[in-house]
Structure 1
Amino acid sequence: MPRQFFVGGNFKMNGVVKSITDIVNNLNSAKLDSNAEVVISPPALYLTLTRSLADKKIGVAAQNVFDKPNGAFTGEISVEQLKDTDINWVVIGHSERRVILKESDEFIARKTKAAVDGGLSVIFCIGETLEEREANKTIDVVTRQLNAAAKELSKEQWAKVVIAYEPVWAIGTGKVATTEQAQEVHAAIRKWLGESISSEAQENVRVIYGGSVSEKNCRELATQPDVDGFLVGGASLKPAFVDIVNARI
């Protein structure tokens, strides 16, 4: 069975009631690739609004979750609270959390375990900075980030994870990894899955690309054998997001 094409839309800290309503209504009315899985991730304040508006065929993801159960953790959201509001996905490890908010590989891995243990599916983000890319450390960096999660998750739990490779230097910059660069790293991640997790994980875990994905570059990227879809930032706020979902049509 081929891996199902996956497109995530990360709104980041963007949107208000009207604009998010417009985005969701546009997706609801669009003709989307019936073979693609689509998950959108609005700011936490608008999760329940988005879930109430979006067709059931569209998944909704939180942009963060805490690694502890409900309790005295001001400003955080628990796995239980997400499940209680019918939010079944979460984005974890995005570079903005790693770089700006200084979240460690180990903390990100613990959040991933808490999410999967609690019944959520995870878009697990990894990627290197420009300095690390120029120092030829890309594979070392993504392997380190993956190894942290491997220490926390069972082999079976990787079925609940979509890996999003997002080179930090390409996020919101307009720069995009070349098709060859993206495929090279995706192939290395798939090799890691086979060597470190299982042959089933190597075959079945989806590895998606993020980093200034647009309607202009998505089709070429989508032809690569190890690129199973996209995690889209700014373009997910625009009507062109539909074109990215339909990149394989």
Structure 2
Amino acid sequence: MTRQFFVGGNFKMNPATLEQKKGLVSLLNEAKLDPSTEVVIAPPFLYLIPLVESIRKDIKVAAQNCYLKNVGAFTGEVSPAMLHDAQVPYVILGHSERRTLFHETSELVALKTQAAIDAGLSVILCVGETLQERESNRTVEVVNEQLDAVIAVLKESDWSKVVIAYEPVWAIGTGKVATSAQAQEIHAEIRKYLTQKVSPTVADGTRIIYGGSVNAGNCKELATQPDIDGFLVGGASLKPEFVDIVNAKA
């Protein structure tokens, strides 16, 4: 199966001003982007609806998080039903910053994933290990445990709405990056695990993207690996080099 290349830009809690956001939108609206690559950008919640209305139609918009209920007394949360109603097609769930800073468990991430898919959203599901876990040779164990919680609640048909982002926590925002061989090894392990725990069809069809200090300098080599189907980009998504990353396969 040929999997469509996927590049996501996670703006995190950036940019700080509306003018900076407008500058990013103008850059992307005017850029020459590889039409064979699916491009999704995830701004802070405040900018979601304006971005849906102002970004070119071949670029999709994602939320950076959502709650597991559609309505209710949950101050400060945004529901998957609200995102769907606002024509936001994607949501990022399980990002390492949500897991480490906000103490989200794999079970909570799984429930959010199920709720998002049930509401009609597609999910960028993040998994990955810390430096301590990698140095203890627990990378595969940790990633599989994070996947297990999601596997337990999804139907096989739900996986068509999931993009898995492997993000080694030690490589996020540090300037460090896994070598292309290291990244490929874990991507292949994830695909093998999906074969065993879900189905060969799901394993073959699910896009597994890499997120860990991806930039214009390393994206082309990473993109040559057979099980790396794209990228989830952090800091570089706020810079002109994001266009180069989108065009990594061109």
TM-score by length of 2: 0.99
Amino acid at match of 1:26: L
Deviation readout 1:84-142 (Å, 9 max, x if unpaired): 11101000000000001000000000000000011000000000000000000000000
Partners of 2:221 and 2:121 in 1: CA distance: 31
Where does residue 28 of structure 2 map in the other structure? 27
Deviation readout 1:33-55 (Å, 9 max, x if unpaired): 01000000000011011111111
Partners of 2:22 and 2:50 in 1: CA distance: 8
Structure 1: 4+ residue segments shifted above 3 A:
none
In percent, how many aligned pairs have the same letter? 59
The 3-state SS of whatever aligns with 2:25 is helix
The residue correspondences of 1:11-90 to structure 2 (distance < 5 A) are 11-15=11-15, 16-90=17-91
Deviation readout 1:10-43 (Å, 9 max, x if unpaired): 0000112111111112111111001000000000
Q: CA deviation at 1:80?
A: 1.1
The 3-state SS of whatever aligns with 2:185 is helix
Q: Is the 8 A contact 1:20 1:50 kept in 2?
A: no
Q: Is the 8 A contact 1:21 1:53 kept in 2?
A: no
Deviation readout 1:168-204 (Å, 9 max, x if unpaired): 0000000000111100000000001111111111111
Where does residue 7 of structure 2 map in the other structure? 7
Partners of 1:12 and 1:139 in 2: CA distance: 26
Partners of 1:28 and 1:120 in 2: CA distance: 24
Partners of 1:209 and 1:34 in 2: CA distance: 20
Q: Is the 8 A contact 1:129 1:167 kept in 2?
A: yes
Q: Is the 8 A contact 1:65 1:90 kept in 2?
A: yes
Partners of 2:169 and 2:33 in 1: CA distance: 29
Unaligned runs of 5+ in 2: none
The 3-state SS of whatever aligns with 1:2 is coil
Comparing 120-129 and 10-19, the one that deviates more: 10-19
Where does residue 128 of structure 2 map in the other structure? 127
Where does residue 166 of structure 1 map in the other structure? 167
Q: CA deviation at 1:207?
A: 0.1
The 3-state SS of whatever aligns with 1:174 is coil
Amino acid at match of 2:20: S
The residue correspondences of 1:1-249 to structure 2 (distance < 5 A) are 1-15=1-15, 16-249=17-250
Q: Is the 8 A contact 2:124 2:162 kept in 1?
A: yes
Partners of 1:233 and 1:182 in 2: CA distance: 17
The 3-state SS of whatever aligns with 1:124 is strand
Q: CA deviation at 1:6?
A: 0.1
C-alpha RMSD over aligned residues: 0.6
Amino acid at match of 1:117: D
Unaligned runs of 5+ in 1: none
Amino acid at match of 2:5: F
Number of residue pairs aligned between Structure 1 and Structure 2: 249
